[in-house]
Structure 1
Amino acid sequence: MDESIWESVRALRGWLDNANGTGDPELTCRILKLTEEAGEAAGAWIGALGQNPRKGVTHTRDDVAAELADAAFTALVAIESLGVDAHGALRGCAAKVRSRLP
């Protein structure tokens, strides 16, 4: 991944730490924020499929991708907020997934 992504993750974590502190209640909110972002991705997909007959098609696949990217970025910030290197955690996850492939 591009180094600017990791710089942005660390910068956002620092900004949140300065604005909201670093205690467990704040960490809980950062982890729960991932659920909010995942819900927005789900809502965008429902909108892309036009599953709500009252609203029809309200989103595109690009909208869904943007919401999924928000969720991914939020997860990386939450990992960093745990005091864990998000880049290393993601690399480890990728290796684990890769090892399971035939």
Structure 2
Amino acid sequence: MSAVLWPVTASIAAVLNAANGSGEHEMAMRLLKVTEEAGETAAAYIGMTGQNPRKGTTHTPADVADELCDVIIAAAVALHAFTTVPPAVLDAKLHAAARRLDHTPERAV
């Protein structure tokens, strides 16, 4: 995980808190921002694959990667609104996901 993720997202969250407050409405807005960024990622992927014949191929894999980074940043910023220790919460979640991989049942052949 990038060493700058948590200090930078904490700074972004602090700026948002100062500008918009930190109540339930703002928490909801931060969650919606994650959804917005996910939608932009989907749109970039659609553009990369040329799924819209009217528009053709409009995006590159780098565009999709860029949008995915926006999702990660928005989610990290939002996480600050729901816990005082976002790095620990994510770390625990990552380890839980890794443990699940260790217990994946084998497929029948």
Q: Scaled by the length of structure 1, what TM-score is found?
A: 0.95
- Structure 2 residue matching 1:81: 3-state secondary structure: coil
Which amino acid in 2 is paired with 1:45? Y
Q: Scaled by the length of structure 2, what TM-score is found?
A: 0.89
CA distance in 2, matches of 1:86, 1:40: 24
For 1:54, the equivalent position in structure 2 comes to: 54
1:9–1:76 Cα contact (<8 Å) kept: yes
CA distance in 2, matches of 1:69, 1:90: 16
The Cα of 1:84 is off from its aligned counterpart by 3.4
Which amino acid in 2 is paired with 1:49? T
Question: Hey, which of these two has a bigger chunk of helix by percent?
Answer: 1
For 2:5, the equivalent position in structure 1 comes to: 5
- Structure 2 residue matching 1:3: 3-state secondary structure: coil
Runs (5+) with no aligned partner, structure 2: 103-109
For 2:76, the equivalent position in structure 1 comes to: 76
Aligned length: 102
Find the structure with the greater CA-based Rg: 2
Which amino acid in 2 is paired with 1:79? L
Q: Point out 4+ residue stretches in structure 1 off by more than 3 angstroms.
A: none
Write the deviation string for residues 32-69 of structure 1: whole angstroms up to 9, x where unpaired.
11110000000000000000000000000110011011
Pairwise CA RMSD of aligned residues?
1.0
Runs (5+) with no aligned partner, structure 1: none
Write the deviation string for residues 69-97 of structure 1: whole angstroms up to 9, x where unpaired.
10011001101012332211111111011
Identity %: 42
1:1-102 matches, within 5 Å, as: 1-102=1-102
Which amino acid in 2 is paired with 1:28? A
- Structure 1 residue matching 2:80: 3-state secondary structure: helix
